[in-house]
């Protein structure tokens, strides 16, 4: 028997209503903040991710689904959304858009070859936003405020926003030098990834999942002490504005994020809920001032975040929050005879064309079973068609909630349903 590929899942109807609800809400909130949707291809040139995400990251080193197409091009299933959005920004010359920053969001499946565990899939759906073109602490705060707004709007309470500043390129270079000095003497005690990170991107040692408890990680130099005045000011302004908005946060000087292109503000949102499991990160993001130029694009800066709907759902489950299932039918047509079934087919055709959701029994079941089916399908109204109804061309429209019935001709019934 062929099964779904490892690390992927079917989202069946008993779950898909949650996804629809969440995606709709995310789109509404994005609209409130004036972010427009962008859709980029599911695959891109492999080079895009190697360059934009960076050769020293787990994504590029271990997690990409890369393949040659029949034209011998190296393509990669999109593992994250920022690089494709930046590519599109550059390609479509969005720096010339009248409105700046260009504010974009996406809801899209991502692919990473990872070890399967709770909250970690090989195909998962990310909602992400990017604001490109203006560097201003106000934008950083807008992004953080949208992020908190999203999670709070679902009723989640056990949230912890963690922020840090990685500083500008100058501060970052100084800091990297300090880290090399700090780790070099004992780098032999670290995992093989960290041993190469010290040459390619020392900051990533702080983000290592294997070595996170090593004493040298715990007492590593703090990024904050290496921020130049400009970077420090930027960070202090962001924090002050978060305070003004009463957005609670904690500063974690070791927070560096996995991707190479981050500068200044970096952040993660965690869940504190009991039972959330080992993985507590719901969302991550930050400012990426160097990215576009590094991709041969214009000298424009950006900031964004990405969250996965899978982990949002886990957080909702951990806090016992139900998503309303608005599924239901306007009308269920029960039938007693073959002739009635034919008539029901015609009626359904008319009802559905007028925008009324309606269904009937296709299994020739007894009336009682049909009523049960109507109940299961959450039908708001029912009618029963038998010989009498066909003869009189009318039926009793029954309100399933109140039990009230009303005798109506079929035409009256259609218009009544339309009004309701
Ligand atoms: P992690 O440290 O958990 O691997 P990451 O740094 O790789 O996370 P990002 O690339 O920042 O994650 O992705 C942003 C968000 O996407 C994460 O905070 C998480 O909610 C979600 N996410 C990342 N990888 C997966 C996955 N394999 N399955 C489901 N959700 C994921
Ligand atoms: Mg990861």
- Residues 57-100 have pLDDT tens digits of 889 989 999 999 999 999 999 999 999 999 999 999 999 999 99
C-alpha Rg value of the chain to the nearest Å:
28
pLDDT at 275 over 90: no
Q: Which residues contact 419 (CB under 8 A, 6 or more apart)?
A: none
Note whether 301 and 339 are same-domain residues: no
User: Which residue's CA is minimally distant from atom 1 of ligand 1?
Assistant: 281
User: Which residue's CA is minimally distant from atom 22 of ligand 1?
Assistant: 308
- How far apart are the CA of 398 and the centre of ligand 1, in A? 50
Query: What span, in angstroms and rounded, lies between the C-alpha atoms of 85 and 352?
Result: 40
Q: Please report whether residue 388 resides in a domain.
A: yes
Structural domains in the chain (count): 2
Q: Which residue has the tokens 């000087």?
A: 253
> Helices in 97-136 by DSSP H: which ranges?
none
What share of the chain in percent tops pLDDT 90? 83
Note whether 299 and 340 are same-domain residues: no
Note whether 113 and 244 are same-domain residues: yes
Note whether 88 and 144 are same-domain residues: yes
pLDDT digits (tens, 9 = 90+) for 364-397: 999 999 999 999 999 999 999 999 999 999 999 9
Query: What span, in angstroms and rounded, lies between the C-alpha atoms of 396 and 363?
Result: 23
Q: Please report whether residue 337 resides in a domain.
A: yes
Note whether 271 and 146 are same-domain residues: yes
- Residues at CB less than 6 angstroms from ligand 1: 80, 112, 114, 119-121, 124, 126, 258, 279, 281-284, 306-308, 310-311
Nearest partner of 360 among 372, 350, 374, 346, judged by Cα: 374
Q: Closest ligand 1 atom to the C-alpha of 269? A: 18
Q: Please report whether residue 129 resides in a domain.
A: yes
Q: Which of 286, 318, 350 is the last residue of a domain?
A: 318
Note whether 261 and 350 are same-domain residues: no
pLDDT at 145 over 90: yes
pLDDT at 10 over 80: yes
Nearest partner of 317 among 15, 11, 12, 4, judged by Cα: 15
Note whether 300 and 343 are same-domain residues: no
What pLDDT sits at residue 280? 84
User: Which residue's CA is minimally distant from atom 7 of ligand 1?
Assistant: 258
Pick from 49, 147, 271, 306 the residue to mutate for probing ligand 1's pocket: most ligand atoms within 8 Å of its CB. 306
Q: Please report whether residue 189 resides in a domain.
A: no
Note whether 99 and 148 are same-domain residues: yes
User: What CATH number corresponds to the domain at position 65?
Assistant: 3.30.930.10
User: What CATH number corresponds to the domain at position 367?
Assistant: 3.40.50.800
How much is the average pLDDT of 255-279? 83
Query: What span, in angstroms and rounded, lies between the C-alpha atoms of 58 and 385?
Result: 63
Pick from 49, 261, 284, 303 the residue to mutate for probing ligand 1's pocket: most ligand atoms within 8 Å of its CB. 284
Query: What span, in angstroms and rounded, lies between the C-alpha atoms of 230 and 232?
Result: 5
- How far apart are the CA of 246 and the centre of ligand 1, in A? 27
Note whether 335 and 235 are same-domain residues: no
Note whether 288 and 349 are same-domain residues: no
What pLDDT sits at residue 258? 60
Note whether 272 and 346 are same-domain residues: no
pLDDT digits (tens, 9 = 90+) for 248-261: 999 998 888 766 67
Query: What span, in angstroms and rounded, lies between the C-alpha atoms of 254 and 220?
Result: 8
Query: What span, in angstroms and rounded, lies between the C-alpha atoms of 233 and 324?
Result: 44
Q: Quick one: pLDDT band at residue 209, thresholds 50, 70, 90?
A: confident
pTM of the model: 0.90
What pLDDT sits at residue 260? 66
Which residues of 244-299 form beta strands (DSSP E)? 250-251, 263-271, 281-287
């Amino acid at each position: 028997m062929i099964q779904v590929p490892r690390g992927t899942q079917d989202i069946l109807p008993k779950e898909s209503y949650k996804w629809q609800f969440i995606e709709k809400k995310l789109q509404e909130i994005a609209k409130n903040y004036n972010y427009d949707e962008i859709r980029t291809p599911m695959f891109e040139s492999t080079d895009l991710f190697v360059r934009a995400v960076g050769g020293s990251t787990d994504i590029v080193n271990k997690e990409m689904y890369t393949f040659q197409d029949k034209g011998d091009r190296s393509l990669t299933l999109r593992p994250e959304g920022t690089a494709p959005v930046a590519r599109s920004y550059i390609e479509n010359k969005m720096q010339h858009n009248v409105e700046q920053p260009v504010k974009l969001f996406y809801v899209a499946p991502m692919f990473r070859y990872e070890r399967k565990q709770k909250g970690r899939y090989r195909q998962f759906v990310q909602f992400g936003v990017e604001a490109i073109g203006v560097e201003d602490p106000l934008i950083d705060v807008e992004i953080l405020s949208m992020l908190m707004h999203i999670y709070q709007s679902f009723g989640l309470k056990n949230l912890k926003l963690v922020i840090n500043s990685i500083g500008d390129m100058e501060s970052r270079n100084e800091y990297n030098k300090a880290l090399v000095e700090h780790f070099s003497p004992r780098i032999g005690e670290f995992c093989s990834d960290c041993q190469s990170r010290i040459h390619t991107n020392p900051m990533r040692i702080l983000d290592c999942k294997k070595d996170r408890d090593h004493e040298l990680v715990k007492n590593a130099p703090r990024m904050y002490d290496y921020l130049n005045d400009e970077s420090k000011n930027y960070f202090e302004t962001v924090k002050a504005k978060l305070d003004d908005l009463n957005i609670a946060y904690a500063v974690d000087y070791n927070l560096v994020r996995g991707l190479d292109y981050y500068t200044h503000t970096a952040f993660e949102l965690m869940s504190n809920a009991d039972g959330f499991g080992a993985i507590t990160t719901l969302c991550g993001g930050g400012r990426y001032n160097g990215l576009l130029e590094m991709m041969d694009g214009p000298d424009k800066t950006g900031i964004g975040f990405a969250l996965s709907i899978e982990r949002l759902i886990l957080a909702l489950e951990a806090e016992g929050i139900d998503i309303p299932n608005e599924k239901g039918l306007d009308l269920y047509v029960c039938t007693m005879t073959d002739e009635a079934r034919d008539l029901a087919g015609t009626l359904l055709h008319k009802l559905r064309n007028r925008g009324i959701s309606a269904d009937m029994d296709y299994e020739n079941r007894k009336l009682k079973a049909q009523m049960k089916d109507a109940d299961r399908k959450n039908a708001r109204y029912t009618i029963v068609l038998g010989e009498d109804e066909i003869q009189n061309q009318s039926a009793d429209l029954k309100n399933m909630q109140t039990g009230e019935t009303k005798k109506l001709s079929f035409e009256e019934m259609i218009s009544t349903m339309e009004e309701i």
